[in-house]
Structure 1
Amino acid sequence: MQTIIKREGLKRSKFHAKRKETLATLPKYEARAVARFVRISPRKARSVINSIRGKNVSEAFNLLEFSSKKAARIVYNVLKSAVANATNNLGLSEENLYVAACYVNDGPRMKRVWPRGRGRADIIQKRMSHITVIVRDREKENETKAK
């Protein structure tokens, strides 16, 4: 027979409470998606991210689909996830969505050793990225600004 131990007085971290407050203050016409620890250099990902900022979702999908860069495939999936969050969780229509904000932050770096001549060694830094895409509904945003 198992006994259930009740723990009283335990609180979650301050970070959790702060994050919960932040999510509660987000507007109801905004959805986001984040891909963390992606194995691509932030500099290379930013070149793709900058090309879709401010564009309609359908236009952004077209740009990413026909881009030959590796980062385009990753950003495409993040954008697809943000659109799915907007349609499924908030009930927004995909036609009115646009990329309100998108950015790439540095993630951790994996450090590898590259042997060189005369017994020396160089360090190779394999960089990671955190990619965030935020989509908004243009019509609902204009309605709230008009009020």
Structure 2
Amino acid sequence: MPAQNFVSMNFEATAQLNSLRISPRKVRLVTDVIKGLPVERARQELKFSAKDAARPVLKLLESAVANAVHNHHLKPETLVVKHTAVNGGSILYRWMPRAMGRATPLRKRTAHVSMVLSGEVDEKAKAVAAAGADAPAEKTPAGKAE
């Protein structure tokens, strides 16, 4: 079957979190757990994780779900975490005083986290949104100020 004739009903929604003040190495431990999971299962994993990075990643997941439902009209029950990427952000350099008047650098690392969700389109929501976009807004007279 040629690839040109294949039409997939799966669409993607993304969300990004920039300059998270947690080391990328620590954030990857959390995001690797939820890759490939359905959104509901990923929420449970993140809610009960003991890692500090789980809370911001959960907020990112919720943002990605909201983007999928609102912007792309995807069904929330079909969403799956398709891809996560954790890259290094800017590094804050600080100094640690040491013996004999020396100082050694401290590198406070930040992370850029991106998440891609995949799911099926909700045709009803898409039709409602399209109908609402085409209809002109109703004009209502403003009340008189006294």
TM-score by length of 2: 0.75
Counterpart contact for 1:28–1:90, Cα < 8 Å: no
Counterpart of 1:75, as a letter, is: V
Residues in 2 aligned to 1:74 and 1:123: alpha-carbon distance in whole angstroms: 27
Corresponding residue SS for 1:80: helix
Please provide the CA RMSD for this pair.
1.7
Classify 1:94/1:52 alpha carbon distance in 2 versus 1 (closer, same or farther; 3 Å): same
1:28 Cα deviation after fit:
7.3
The match for 1:84 is 66
Match of 1:37 among 14, 19, 22: 19
1:103 Cα deviation after fit:
1.2
TM-score by length of 1: 0.74
Q: For 1:52-108, what per-residue CA distance to the aligned partner results, in whole angstroms no more than 9, with x for missing partners?
A: 000000000000000111100010000100000000001111100000000100001
Corresponding residue SS for 1:29: strand
Count, aligned residues: 114
Q: Which runs of 4+ in 1 moved over 2 A?
A: none
Residues in 2 aligned to 1:48 and 1:90: alpha-carbon distance in whole angstroms: 26
- Percentage identity across paired residues of the two chains: 41
Q: Which runs of 5+ in 1 are unaligned?
A: 1-26, 141-147
Question: Which is richer in helix?
Answer: 1
Residues in 1 aligned to 2:52 and 2:120: alpha-carbon distance in whole angstroms: 29
